Structure formats: structure tokens, C-alpha cells
Amino acid sequence: MSIIINSGEARAFAYEALRKVRSGDYQEAEINALLDKANDAIGQAHETQTAILHKEASGESILVSILFVHAQDHLMTSISEKNLIIEMIEMTKMIHTLADKLTKGGNDHD
């Protein structure tokens, strides 16, 4: 469950950062803090996953349950979404910058 919980938190922090940028809130420190929290949560999920993998690598028999498969899916999805959200944040900033330039440029001709 730790993998699922931390993966969900990571995704929530990343989406919160994206929502802030989409609304025009560009406070870099706050955005970076949210992305740092997402990275920390992914790190905690990854540590749990690694501990399980180490047990199996050392010869301990690990029962692979549907819950564990589900947890792995959550972790993989959270990592992928966080990486895409970082790109989307940069693209959104560029779009807002261009839109501001167009708006200001349009007012210069009036």
C-alpha cells in the first residue's frame, strides 16, 4: 500500500503544480516545491519497491499479488505523468509568454 499511497501523492503534487501554472501562478519557488514533493513521494515509493526486489534477489520467495502489480502500475504511471507534467509546465509558460506578447503587441497598434 505504501507504493500506491506515495505514487498517488506524487501525482497529486505534480498536477497541483500544473494547475497553478495554467492559472498564471508562476511562483517558481512554489512550483519547484510542489515538484520536489512529487519527487520525494516517488522516491519513497521506489524505496519500498526496491526493498521488495532486494528480498527476492537475495533468495527470499516473494508472493506477487494483484495488489503488488497494481502498486507497480501506479508507480510507473506516476513517474511518467510527473515527467510529462514538467514538460507541460514549460510549454504552458511559453504559451502564456507568447499570448502576453501578442496581447501587448495588439495594443501598440491601437
Q: What is the pLDDT of residue 110?
A: 47
**pTM score, two decimals?**
0.84
Find the catalytic residue in 54, 70, 74, 109. 70
**In the annotation, is 70 catalytic?**
yes
CB 17 within 8 A of CB 38: yes
Query: Which one, of 87, 92, 91, lies nearest residue 22 by Cα?
Result: 92
What is the torsional sign of CA 12, 9, 86, 73?
negative
CB 7 within 8 A of CB 75: yes
All three cell numbers of 34: 510542489
Per-residue confidence of the chain (110 residues) as pLDDT tens digits? 999 999 999 999 999 999 999 988 878 889 999 999 999 999 999 999 999 999 999 999 988 899 999 999 999 999 999 999 999 999 999 999 999 899 987 555 44
